[in-house]
Amino acid sequence: MASADTKAFIVTGSSTGVGAATALQLARRGASVVINYSKSAAEAEETAQACTKAGGTAIAVRADVAKDEDCRKLAEAAVAKWGRIDGLVNNAGTTKFASMRDLAALSAEDFQRIYAVNVIAAYQTIRACEPQLRSSRGAVVNVSSIAGTMGIGSSVAYAASKGALNTLTLALARALGPDIRVNAVLPGFTETRWLKQGLGPAYDRARDAYRAQSALSDTMTPDEVAEAVVMLLFAKKITGQLLTVDAGRGIGAS
């Protein structure tokens, strides 16, 4: 069990990237963190060890958040280990890289798979954690994307799913208040291995174009996105907000 002043968090999709950076920043605050993964067991264990070295405690739990029983497994793991859940970060996500102009590039099955991970999983994990979050008067942060407000990104299905996640955030902020705060972070182009693999040879060109179109002439790192996530987890009077972290891409360069 965690001590009375040690907070416990679940971060989905946290073996690498923004999720791992978020877990590590929480650990530096002395928190306990569930590191969730679906495939990358070795990397999840490395992240858990890094969290322990940073001053927190962590366990790695394999779970496919598209499955309701696995969402409940994550909640049960946190309660069994620490007796509480103070915060949930819905970071797990997926996409299919497909041209926005090619409507034949996406099938109904593509939409269903992307929505299952990007939208339904967030709902299911919040539902699984709800009793403990109410008890702790905790917080949820959904990791969305500027794709959901700008209609850009890796595919139409991805952009639509993030728009749905934004609406889910607003709806649940009302429904779960005053006990649970629910917010979302909307990153722009974030330099992760996931994005590099997805874009392949087009990565450098896409990164340079993003920088040219943003007011700060820059992209994001996982740590920079994680800073916003952690801030919202601890901001006691902020709920129902969609916080954009995009180096000024939304307003554009002068």
| Average pLDDT for 54-74 | 98
Distance from C-alpha of 197 to C-alpha of 177, rounded to nearest angstrom: 39
Please report the pLDDT score of residue 4 as a whole number: 56
123: number of Cβ within 10 Å: 18
Give pLDDT tens digits for 106-162: 999 999 999 999 999 999 999 999 999 999 999 999 999 999 999 999 999 999 999
* Sole residue written with tokens 């403990």: 132
Q: Please check the confidence at residue 3 and state whether its pLDDT lies above 70.
A: no
Determine the average pLDDT of the residues in 178-193. 97
**Rounded (10°) angle between helices 17-28 and 41-53:** 20
What's the pLDDT at 231? 98
pTM: 0.96
Over residues 26-39, mean pLDDT: 97
Give dist(CA 119, CA 19) in Å, integer: 17
Question: What is the per-residue pLDDT across 74-84, written as a single tens digit (0 to 9) for each?
Answer: 999 999 999 99
The candidate with the shortest Cα–Cα distance to 246, out of 115, 148, 167, is 148
| In the predicted structure, residue 196 carries a pLDDT above the cut 70 | yes
Q: Does 1.10.3210.10 match the CATH number of domain 8-243?
A: no
Of 37, 123, 158, 210, the catalytic one is: 158
pLDDT of residue 5: 79
Question: For residue 63, what are its two tokens?
Answer: 């779970």
Question: Residue 243's pLDDT is what?
Answer: 98
Q: For residue 238, which phi and psi values (nearest 5 degrees)? A: -115, 120
Statement: residue 1 has pLDDT above 60: no
Residue 21 tokens read as 């950076």
Cα–Cα distance for residue pair 113/96, rounded to 1 Å: 9
Pairing mode of beta strands 87-90, 8-11: parallel
Confidence of residue 202 (pLDDT cuts 50, 70, 90): very high
Residue 2 has pLDDT above 80, yes or no: no
5 exposure class (CB count in 10 Å sphere: 0-12, 13-18, 19+)? exposed
Task: Tell me the C-alpha distance between 186 and 225, whole Å.
Answer: 9
* pLDDT band (50, 70, 90) for residue 241: very high
Percentage with pLDDT > 90 across the chain: 96
Q: Return the bridge partners of 182, or none.
A: 140
CA distance 24 to 239: 23
pLDDT at 54 over 90: yes
Confirm whether 210 is a catalytic residue.
no
